[in-house]
Amino acid sequence: MTKENFFPSKVALITLISACFIVAIFMGLRMVFGLFTDFFVNDLQCTVTEFGLAIGLQMLMWGMFAPIFGALADKIGSAKVTIIAAGFVALGIYLLYSGPNTGIFFQINLGLLIGIGLGGTAISVQIAAVGKHFPNKTRGMAIGIVVSMASIGYFFSPIYTKFALSEFGWEKTLNTYLYFVIFGIIAAIFLREVKKEKNINESIQKEDNQTLVEALKEAFNHKGFILLIFGFFVCGFNITLVSAHIPSYIQERGFEIWTAAAILSLIGLFNVFGTLSFGYLSGKYSKKILLSILYFARGIVLLLFLILPTSTYVALGFGVLYGFLWLATIPPTNGIISQVFGTKYLATLYGVVFFSHQIGSFLGAYLGGYFYDQYGSFDYAWYLSIALSFFATLVHLPIDEKPLPRLATT
């Protein structure tokens, strides 16, 4: 009995490595804008609400363009789409420090342009490209590897940004981000497509006849797809509330100021273990049960963070535990979509679900700033995040994970 290789081909390996570099760069960049809050408020005369609105708009544009770039990637290839999207990120960053960058231009640069670019660079297109190269048995682990590389970006980006802000100022720090974008564009060249005659995914003959419109109609008529949309909305609300507002909340609670960057870095570091663990478990156990466990754990961890006494150990413990749960939702969520509907339109269908994630992200970013400006506290936003976590715990349980009848092999 021969042992089956994890990598079906050299092309699969090259695509995986390329996706890892892209995701590490662009997911790292989207994580650090909360560290610029004071600079934007003082130098660009924006309020915390306006900053939250810009991050919320960024999340919304990211979500809106994820299915658009996904559909485009399914047609012209992931490499071309990633390069095009990276151009939007570069333009937004450039204008953010060089101007015009106040008032409506602040929203356009940080919110609109960078958000559009993230739709094609920050994970959804890349994990779909990787997922098409791997069979259902190992797809979750392969996607987990890519998602875990976002953690590398999460870990190093706050550390670098904190250093650069103190040494160079915020404009120069943003300028250096453009070099990271260039590295991401170079990596995108090596994203490869699956050759049809060598496609190792299931039921390729039946799947090839389906059109994009038919795939979307089929998905929206499936209860499990709708429930995934609700669940991923909660995921977006949870993590963007933390990434956008934890630096300000740390100051509100009286923690030492350095703990904000430490929490973000710990989230990045321990997300590696979380995504790899749940990527591996997605190939062994029910993906919907794993998702329910994840969301329940998020609610408990956040609740403990709020009620426990202010302490450096509590803050760092929150970073460790929440980091383990941070992007661990992606392998089982993506796995359910590909398992139920197949992989031909995986980038598009995951992009649709991800749009819901970004609507949640918009509300997490905006409501965090709104509640703070209205009531002088982030507490109401945290309470809402906890309630939504427990809602997501329940919403995944009725999902039917069985492949559709049309995917039955002949």
- Quote the number of domains for the chain: 1
CATH number reported for the structural domain that contains residue 339 in this entry: 1.20.1250.20
**314 within domain boundaries:** yes
Checking if the pLDDT of 48 tops 80, the result is: no
Helix, strand, coil percent values for the chain (each to nearest 5): 80, 0, 20
CB 25, CB 187: distance < 8 Å: yes
**410 within domain boundaries:** no
**152 within domain boundaries:** yes
Max Cα distance, the chain (Å): 68
Cis omega (within 30 of 0) on the bond before 309?
Answer: no
Checking if the pLDDT of 267 tops 60, the result is: yes
Print the domain residue range for 342: 11-194+203-401
**256 within domain boundaries:** yes
Which amino acid is present at 410? T
Q: What is the pLDDT of residues 328-347, one digit of tens each?
A: 898 899 889 988 888 778 87
Q: What is the pLDDT of residues 137-187, one digit of tens each?
A: 788 788 888 888 877 887 788 788 889 998 999 999 999 999 999 999 999
**53 within domain boundaries:** yes
CB 174, CB 93: distance < 8 Å: yes
Confidence of residue 2 (pLDDT cuts 50, 70, 90): very low
The Cα 381–Cα 243 span in angstroms is: 13
The tokens describing 75, both together, are 């047609």
Indicate whether this model's pTM tops 0.85: no
**330 within domain boundaries:** yes
Q: What percent of the chain has pLDDT over 90?
A: 33
**132 within domain boundaries:** yes
Q: What is the pLDDT of residues 86-103, one digit of tens each?
A: 999 999 999 999 878 888
Residue with tokens 């509640």: 371
Residue 113: what pLDDT?
95
The Cα 198–Cα 200 span in angstroms is: 6
Q: What is the pLDDT of residues 274-309, one digit of tens each?
A: 988 988 898 888 999 999 999 999 999 999 988 888
**406 within domain boundaries:** no
CB atoms within 10 A of CB 295: 24
